Chain A
Amino acid sequence: MTTLTRARKRLFSNSLNAKSARAGILFVLPAVALLAMFLVAPVVLAFSLGFTNAKFASPNEPEFVGIENFTELLSLGQVSVDADPSDPNSAYDNLRDLTKPAADTPYAGMQILNESFSEDGTKADFTLAGDALFWKSLKNTVIFALVIAPLQGGLALALALLINSKIKGKVFFRTIYFMPVVTSMVVVSILWIFFYQKDGLANVILDNLIPGYEPIAFLTDPNLALPAIIFMSAWQGVGFHMIVWLAGLQTIPGELYEAATVDGANKWQQFKAVTWPGLRSTFVFVLIVISIQAMGLFTQVNVMTQGGPLDSTTTVVFHLFREGFRKNEIGYSSAIAIVFFILVVLISIIQRRLTRERD
């Protein structure tokens, strides 16, 4: 009787397993097919197009060009030329002999990324790049990420702690703080264009706070455009990470605080000993998510500044878009995408490492 039942059971479960396997594959099929088509295939395509000179909507056929796109994108050089102190353009003239596309030098076709003149004006040092705009874009993107990660992450934590404290109306405050998150970036960007105008709200407020203040058109000032975009982006995104921090705070058991209070720890000591260690994994998550989002900075730039003034707000994704969509250089744009992808992966690996070592 028992053996019979067991045998029947096994038979039953074998056929069950086969059925389960069939159903399993059938059920994942739609999702897998869609992901293969719209995620895996484009990734593969990016890696192959990056080695061609493919153009969107061009009558010319694409050709395989090897690593040419990557050398143009990534090459850097350093060169000194003589200059005539009485003619400020002489340095550029001398440099041009080296960088003309037709020149027979390693610098042919390179662009000026940075320049510095010696004090007596007889020498000029140039940093050259195959694609100066890419390096400027990378620099702006990295600055954006480096500033906004602590700014937005820290502010979000402060808000989360505030809401998690004894004050009344938590839900009300939380709801208000979160509102910009559900507002689209296009709306936010256009709204803040108005605020940042010379006769806009930001200048009116600063004018009331600072005596003798001179209004500034923030978005057309090369030194202020990027900070203005950073501030606005943090304003828009901070509510999201506040919620993530809050979720992290709620995982910390209340007994730990009680124990700490019994031990006579003050608020700051409690934060250091209990709260912060309990938020470790949330910290890693917030840091990685903000950094990766920051690396993808695009909408604000495309709506507000188009990368200007003087390339002070151009970013990697904006550069990729400009090359691929505006100039139809799909091959070159794909090469930028590959470099960008590697950067993003590197950043998440490094951040994971760094935060793990500190444990």
Chain B
Amino acid sequence: MIKLTRALLAASAASAIVLSGCAATDSASNSEEGAATGETTTISMWSHAAGNDQEIATVKEAITDFNASQTQYEVVLEEFPQESYNDSIAAAAASNTLPCVVDVDGPIMPNWAWAGYLQPLTIDSALEQSLLPGAKGYYNDQLYSAGAWDAALGMLARKSTLEAVGARIPTVAEPWTQAEFDALLAAIDATGDYDYAIDWGNGWTGEWFPYAYSPIMQSFGGDLIDRSSFETADGVINSDASVAFGEWFGSTFAKGYANAAQTGDRTEFIAGTIALQYNGNWAVKDAYEALGDDLLILPPPNFGQGPKIGAASWQFGISSTCESPEGASAFIEFILQDKYIVAFANRIGLIPATATAAEQVPNYAPGGPFAVFVEFSNSYGVLRPPTPAYLSVSTIYEKAVADIINGANAKQALDAAADEIDANLADNDFYR
């Protein structure tokens, strides 16, 4: 014991000296290490997709190929869970330790551009032209982000289920009306064959809530914020139409059609214990493989203003502190080659960002089983409000909807959201 303590203490003297060295070895950002050796410059990159093996696999493939294709830059990837990704970016920005390349969710991008986390993105103009609108992010008329795909939501069902309850199979031209959809939920519930009629995906958290549910609210005629000024949410997020959405949405849980304690793995639809699933095209591959021709990919119902789905998904951008933006944009151009866009689309089932890539993806080529998502995206896609305030709007809305799912009064929850958004806007000088 005595010897041990003294040895420990002696080591402490040494460690005190090494301490300053600790600071030296830790600067994980940007390009120091590479520049020091004068050969390759390290380009750090953060991804939100930890745990999403298919998505990460393609990112890694592109990184490996990029690093092998030239010697000037080396891209190094770090993965984060989506849930805490935005917090990590904000904290890293405050400490000037942002990586060079970030991925950013489309609607969040204006906030990061406003806060100075991002620098404008310059990529080959032919490439920029070729990308779908939903795969590009502009703020103040400047390009800040570009992505390899767009996502689309739809309603998944089994043909056999609908036939059993005698429901009409909707089309893009003639989607379900609210009355039809309500009748369908009640009919499914009445069969007693399922634990729940529908899986809304409420086991997921964060941006999924506004992404998935605010378009339904827009179909009712509501919205998140006044889009003419972006300076108030009062009378919009708590308008009669928005409250009608909240009450209807909450009622699907109160009536037992949906499960408030839904978990995030969402395996019940394929397992056959939940009849309908409201989900993105990334989830359809598994369902298609499991159900084959019995799977129906249906447009979301029309609640008055036509079906709506969210547009814009995850994209790539360059941080403002990146010391080698040329290298970073070289990598972004590299990963936006059709080859990888095709790989993303094949693996995670998202809509390819270029038309030329779409032709190489059997599922999305005209007549392919998922091509209907391209139609949804073109006909129903709405952008979430492109304002720096969106980051706050999103979390406030998420809480309001979560409360409604758990039985809170919709009017009260949305009133509170309106007040909170307005207070946040005033507090931040309206994000001017």
Q: Do chains A and B touch in the complex (CB under 8 A)?
A: yes
List A residues at the B interface (Cβ < 8 Å). 53, 55-60, 88-89, 92-93, 96, 99-101, 109, 111-112, 132, 197-198, 217, 220-222, 306, 308-311, 325-328
In the complex, B409 has a CB within 8 A of chain A: yes
A-B contact pairs, 30 of them (CB 8 A): A53-B427, A57-B91, A57-B115, A58-B115, A59-B115, A88-B409, A92-B412, A93-B411, A99-B419, A100-B234, A100-B419, A101-B234, A101-B419, A101-B422, A101-B426, A109-B419, A112-B412, A198-B261, A220-B261, A221-B261, A222-B406, A222-B407, A306-B205, A309-B260, A309-B406, A310-B403, A310-B406, A325-B87, A325-B91, A327-B395
How many Å lie between the Cα of A351 and that of B128 in the bound state? 67
The proximity string for B residues 86-114 relative to A, scoring 1 for CB distances below 8 Å and 0 otherwise, is 01001101100000000000000000001
Question: Using Cβ atoms and an 8 Å threshold, which residues of chain A touch B415?
Answer: 92, 96
How distant is B4 from chain A, measured CB to nearest CB, in Å? 20
- CA distance in complex: A88, B410 (Å): 11
Interface of B is mostly: helix
A309 to B403 Cα, complex, angstroms: 7
Nearest-neighbour CB distance to chain A for B84, whole angstroms, equals 9
A57 and B93 contacting across the interface, CB-CB below 8 Å: yes
- Nearest-Cβ distance from residue A141 to partner chain B, whole angstroms: 19
Classify chain B's interface size: 20 to 34
Which 8 A-B pairs rank lowest in CB-CB distance, beginning with the nearest?
Answer: A220-B261, A57-B94, A217-B261, A89-B411, A310-B406, A309-B406, A92-B411, A57-B90
Given contacts A57-B93, A111-B419, A311-B403, 10 further A-B contacts (CB under 8 A): A60-B429, A92-B415, A217-B261, A220-B261, A306-B205, A308-B406, A309-B402, A310-B407, A325-B87, A327-B395
- Closest Cβ of chain A: how far from B218's Cβ, in Å? 21
Contact partners of A310 in chain B: CB under 8 A: 403, 406-408
> Does B423 lie at the interface of the complex (its beta carbon under 8 Å from any beta carbon of A)?
yes
Is there an interface contact between B395 and A326, defined as CB atoms closer than 8 Å? yes
Measured CA separation A58–B112 after assembly (Å): 10
Our count of residue pairs bridging A and B at CB distance below 8 angstroms stands at: 68
Measured in the bound complex, the distance between the Cα atoms of B412 and A55 in whole Å is: 28
Q: Are A58 and B243 in contact (CB under 8 A)?
A: no
Contacts of A88 in B (CB 8 A): 409
List the B side residues contacting A308 at CB < 8 Å. Answer: 402, 406
Interface residues of B (CB under 8 A from A): 87, 90-91, 93-94, 114-116, 205, 234, 243, 260-261, 263, 392, 395, 402-403, 406-409, 411-412, 415-416, 419, 422-423, 426-429
Q: What's the nearest-Cβ distance from chain A to residue B210, in Å?
A: 16
Residues of chain A within 8 A of B263, CB atoms compared: 197
* A56 CB contacts on chain B under 8 angstroms: 90-91, 94
Give chain A nearest CB distance to B55 CB in angstroms: 24
Q: What's the nearest-Cβ distance from chain A to residue B49, in Å?
A: 21
With A308-B406, A310-B403 known as contacts, the answer to whether A326 contacts B87 (CB < 8 A) is yes
Tell me, rounded to whole Å, the shortest Cβ–Cβ distance linking A4 to chain B: 41
Q: How far is the CB of A93 from chain B (nearest CB, A)?
A: 8
A205 to B80, CA, bound (A): 36
* A125 shortest CB reach to chain B, Å: 14
Which residues of chain B are within 8 angstroms of A306 by Cβ–Cβ distance? 205
CB-CB under 8 A from B419, the residues of chain A are 99-101, 109, 111
